[in-house]
Amino acid sequence: MRILLTLLALMLIAFAAASQETRVSTQPATPVYEEGQKLLKDGKATDAAAKFAEAAKQGNADAMNELGKLYLTGNGVNQDAVEANKHFEEAVKLGNMRSATNLGISYKEARGVEQDHKKAAELLTKAADAGIAVAQYQLAEMYAFYMGMAVNPETLKTNPAKALELYTKAAEQGIPQAQYQVGYYYIWGPDEDKHDPKLAIEWLRKAAASNDLKILTDIGRLLQDEYGPIYDPAGAVQVLTPAAQAGHPDAQFYLGKLLYYGRGTKKDVATAVNLYNAAAQQGQSDAMYALARLYLSGEGVEKNPQRAYILAEMAIDGGVSWDGEEGFAKVTRAEAKDLLTPEQLAEAQAALEQNRAAQKAAPK
């Protein structure tokens, strides 16, 4: 059966990962805590915070965790990551593994505390061992990437096998990001003996059911890769379309690329240009490069070497990655530059400097 049909069908399934993960509570719920939960469900976060604070004073660790989450997000209270971590710490002392997860992430991402990968790993390991899916996923990220050195201080190396084990545990509990990572590992993981495209597709189908825009985009990227083991351009069009329509810049670029070349769908340069423009306006460097090529040749747009030069330069600034190294964009820039008069080149360079200054001044 074609990949696109199964992916599209599963995308329609409602996702509820939170309900799939087993609730880990260190103590029975109290009436005050339950009141807070009801108020929160009814959208009365400020009143809920008051109830959680009351329950926390009574020693309810779950209430401490919920109160910490409210402070972390600024829901019903003034956002304060430092205050949030205080509540998480108190709950951790009482053995609350949800708070161990939240505090571990705070140390991992420097949320209201100084970044400390070792403390993050310790907290996340305890929570992961207790079966908390989010902790398993976060810990897998540490094993998979450079922060794994905090987990393995003796070797200062990551551990892909451990990462896959933890990703799988989290994936089995319904964490879509973990499901995607498991699928990715079975395609491009460092252990080639574990490569299994069929198994990868099964996990990617589950991840697609979340309708998460980034996940759909990442799956589409894998499916559109003509050199990859699960190449399916029609399937890529199916999963990229909703993400592109929702405004995800990478999805817009990849869908535009498929439409431009007529892969998995009818060739449509005009729509491809529109998608490239939408992505470029959000800073997508590969889309800028694609547009630069079009403005240089005049395909689908009015030929404009000056515009091509500006877009190629912006793509280089942003780190273009499409079809290899940024050397392609440099070639395009050079070709466009050769077609410009000194006055046109000066205008283009002035526009680029103005754009760079605006980007530098923009809030992060």
Residue 75 is assigned to a structural domain of this protein? yes
Counting the structural domains of the chain, the total is: 1
In a domain, residue 270? The reply is no
Walk along the chain (364 residues) and give the pLDDT tens digit of each residue: 344 433 433 333 333 333 334 345 556 668 999 999 999 999 999 999 999 999 999 999 999 999 999 999 999 999 999 999 999 999 999 999 999 999 999 999 999 999 999 999 999 999 999 999 999 999 999 999 866 666 666 665 788 999 999 999 999 999 999 999 999 999 999 999 999 999 999 999 999 999 999 999 999 999 999 999 999 999 999 999 999 999 999 999 999 999 999 999 999 999 999 999 999 999 999 999 999 999 999 999 999 999 999 999 999 999 887 655 557 899 999 999 999 999 999 999 999 999 899 888 887 6
226 lies in some domain = no
CA distance 225 to 268: 19
Contact 37, 107 (CB under 8 A): no
How many CA within 13 A on the CB side of residue 357? 6
**Residue 198 in domain:** no
- On whether residue 201 sits in a domain, the answer given is no
Q: How many residues does the chain have?
A: 364
Q: Are 315 and 271 within 8 A, CB to CB?
A: no
Residue 49 lies in a domain: yes
- Measured between alpha carbons, how far is 172 from 164 in angstroms, rounded to an integer? 12
Q: Are 291 and 274 in contact (CB under 8 A)?
A: no
Instruction: Report pLDDT for 361.
Output: 86
Is residue 69 situated within a structural domain?
Answer: yes
End-to-end CA distance of the chain: 45
DSSP per residue over 223-287, as a string? HH-TTSTT--HHHHHHHHHHHHHTT-HHHHHHHHHHHHHTSSS---HHHHHHHHHHHHTTT-HHH
- Tokens 């074609």 appear where? 2
Neighbour-count burial for 212-242, b at 16+ CB within 10 Å, e otherwise: bbebbbbbbbbbbbeeeebbbbbbbbbbbbb
In which region does residue 359 sit, left (phi positive, over 0), alpha (psi from -120 to 50) or beta (all else)?
Answer: alpha
- Please indicate, yes or no, if residue 30 is contained in any of the structural domains: yes
Domain CATH for 101: 1.25.40.10
- Domain range for 93 is 22-115
